[in-house]
Amino acid sequence: MQWLDWIAVVIFILLWLGYDPLMGLVARRAGSLNADMLTVRAAWMHAMTHRQMRLVDSQLMGHTISSASFFASTNLLLIAAVASVLFGGETAMRGLIDVGSEVATIRLLEAKLALILVCLARGLLDFVWALRQLNYTVALIGAAPEIDHEGDREAYGQAVGRVLNPALGSFNRGVRGYYFALAAAAWLFGSVWLLLSIVSVIALLMWRQSASPAANAVRAARRLLDRN
């Protein structure tokens, strides 16, 4: 690889692995969508303990599990597609060059595909862990007893929320894996494209987390929940 390729890959890895700590700093200063959703989900689980019939909660959890399953299945198909090219031999690599990727050595093309594969594989692991935690959450909702004491209701709701929030946090990381895989795919067209793509992805994700209409709406809802 040339020196610009190395620089682009190092920056990619630093931004990829450093995204969560970076968003943690942003959330402490200006708030973020994911941080606000922690409060919203905690309020949801607290409200769940007050309902005798938890049909709505079951439907919402079923929708969430279906979404995670869909993304995990799609992720697996993408992994299979990239792996088939990566391990398909020189013929597959030459075909990749023919469809418009940067002219490069076979080893460099393998490194580019491997980076995409790693992004997708990490996302798949996040989706699998999210699904397991979501199933734990379903069991906790189903096992929720009829509680009369408000303190016990709040404690049980907080306990369920401590399972639900990490589950959806893993789901969010899995979805972000698609963004980083797309940025990694830009490396096929050259190191400059990789640099531009990873910077663009980070900027897009941070805008969606802190300044998008959805983030502003959830922040307003969270403030109302904080007052109640």
pLDDT score recorded for residue 95: 60
End-to-end CA distance of the chain: 58
Structure tokens at 70: 């869909």
pLDDT score recorded for residue 159: 93
Quickly tell me which residue has 């399972």 as its tokens: 163
Chain centroid to Cα 35, Å, comes to 14
49: which DSSP letter? T
pLDDT score recorded for residue 128: 95
pLDDT score recorded for residue 111: 87
pLDDT score recorded for residue 152: 84
CB atoms within 10 A of CB 131: 20
> Residue 123: in which H helix or E strand, if any?
helix 106-142
Q: Whats the size of the chain, residue-wise?
A: 228
Selection from 126, 145, 138 nearest residue 57 by Cα:
138
CB atoms within 10 A of CB 208: 14
Are 109 and 85 in contact, with CB atoms under 8 Å apart?
no
Residues of the chain with pLDDT under 70: 1, 89-104, 228
Give this prediction's pTM.
0.87
